Amino acid sequence: ELANRMAERAVDIVKFFMKQGQMMKPGDVIDADTAELVASEFGHTVKRVAESDVEEGMFNIEDKSEDLKSRPPVVTIMGHVDHGKTSLLDAIRNANVVAGEAGGITQHIGAYQVEQDGQKITFIDTPGHAAFTQMRARGAQATDIAILVVAADDSVMPQTIESINHAKAAGVPIIVAINKIDKPAANAQKVRTELLQHEVFVESMGGEVLDVEVSATQKLNLDKLLEAILLQSEILDLKANPDRTAEGVVIEAKLDKGRGPVATVLVQTGTLKTGDILVAGNEWGRVRALVDDHGGQVKEAGPSMPVEVLGLQGTPQAGDRFAVVENEARAREISEYRQRLAREKSVARQAGQRGSLEQMMSQLQTSGLKEFPLLIKGDVQGSIEAIVSALDKLGTDEVRARIVHSGAGAITESDVSLAETSGAAIIGFNVRANKQARDASEQAGIEIRYYNIIYDLVDDIKAAMSGLLSPER
């Protein structure tokens, strides 16, 4: 590879090493200092760059405004469970399968495109905000418009509110689909009024949020919903440059028995073509084939188009960014760099694992500290007080529990960061950790223990603390 970079013959470099008394063959690894020596011996000027520069140039090429062309909107459907997200996704897809087209067969690849008034719309095929959040957590934003589904025979529910908050946090405009209007108990007006309390102001309430009454099962007003999406998309003025190397995001990825690693990607800018070499997350590969949402092979995919990519060496993760690079060497370099980074991170995480009671105990023991820091969250204030006083009684001259924080409610991200900075274990009594807290605790290597019986909790802590007592006693 060094020969390649210098545009020299590999055999000449091997010869150079031989003269130095070193037997080398192509593919052997040399360190940076040696590489620098060799390069300067061959008359090249060496510029040492930081490893992080390896990725430079990806994801930040500016497009000239005259190169930008309109692109289809990418839509995610969110809302409370059972309000009809899946039914709506299916209804829109099925209504749009043109008779005779590929036998009307649709392929679930993680996203699909439909056409309305000659314009395309891309739907992310995973309902709910889980996919949305996962992508955002990995730094990718795939969605342009969020469809908030609310059942007209129900109310604004907890996941409706969560969806609103996610869309708002991401700065993604909402279109409200008031679903199940075929039901006798349907009351669309009630939904609109309830949405006011969560600062979603639909047009008839003097706001700017578009809303459409639909029935997914009766296929009512689906075209109106698509028209609303196109209208919103026009306001957003979505554009991308199709005439450049492709970049985008991985929507789904799996290891297929027959086809190897298969990733569904959403092209966000540029055009992805077969034969392209791409890096996706820690993986890379040469695009062997592109498959669209009807199961047909395509030669290329432009902005906002979802396609399955075949030919990757490994399976990337949903939410990973991808980009086409100039050659295999560069693809390898970037993916190796990222894999090493990921390995180092996971090793560091394991080394830093301090959450489990046993590990904490032994760590405290070696450090000579005789305090056992704990963060306690419970369902009600009463049980927390009972736990704290029981733990207080366990304390001896030698070792005692130190409660760094206690409170009622679910375990949150801020609890985890508090536990991290104070080296505490987290105890949940009749409460769970929310998703962000779980992710954060995994990242930080902090174990969260759950209990629903005070006796069990106190017993475990007692056992852990007795391990802290000096061994001679």
Binding site for ligand GDP (CB under 6 A): 79, 81-87, 127, 179-180, 182-183, 215-217
405 is in an annotated binding site: no
Min separation Cβ 149 and ligand GDP, Å: 6
CB contact at 8 A, 405 and 390: no
**Quick one: which of 455, 403, 404, 409 has its CA closest to 431?**
409
Q: Tell me the two tokens of residue 276.
A: 């392209």
Min separation Cβ 108 and ligand GDP, Å: 14
Min separation Cβ 353 and ligand GDP, Å: 37
**Quick one: which of 276, 231, 302 has its CA closest to 68?**
302
Rounded-to-integer distance, Cα 67 and Cα 24, Å:
49
Rounded-to-integer distance, Cα 312 and Cα 267, Å:
16
Spatial CB neighbours of 33, under 8 Å, sequence gap ≥ 6: none
DSSP structural state of residue 84: S
108 is in an annotated binding site: no
117 is in an annotated binding site: no
The residue (of 177 and 416) whose beta carbon lies closer to ligand GDP is 177
The residue (of 183 and 402) whose beta carbon lies closer to ligand GDP is 183
Specify the residue for token string 């540029």. Answer: 270
SS3 content of the chain, % helix, strand, coil (to 5): 40, 25, 35
The residue (of 119 and 217) whose beta carbon lies closer to ligand GDP is 217
Element holding 272 (H helix, E strand)? strand 272-273
Pairing type for strands 69-70 and 247-256 reads unpaired
The residue (of 127 and 428) whose beta carbon lies closer to ligand GDP is 127
57 is in an annotated binding site: no
85 is in an annotated binding site: yes
Min separation Cβ 213 and ligand GDP, Å: 10
CA angle 117, 118, 123 (to 5 degrees): 85
Min separation Cβ 261 and ligand GDP, Å: 28
103 is in an annotated binding site: no
Min separation Cβ 84 and ligand GDP, Å: 3
73 is in an annotated binding site: no
Q: Which residues are annotated as a binding site for GTP?
A: 79-86, 125-129, 179-182
Q: Which residues are annotated as a binding site?
A: 79-86, 125-129, 179-182
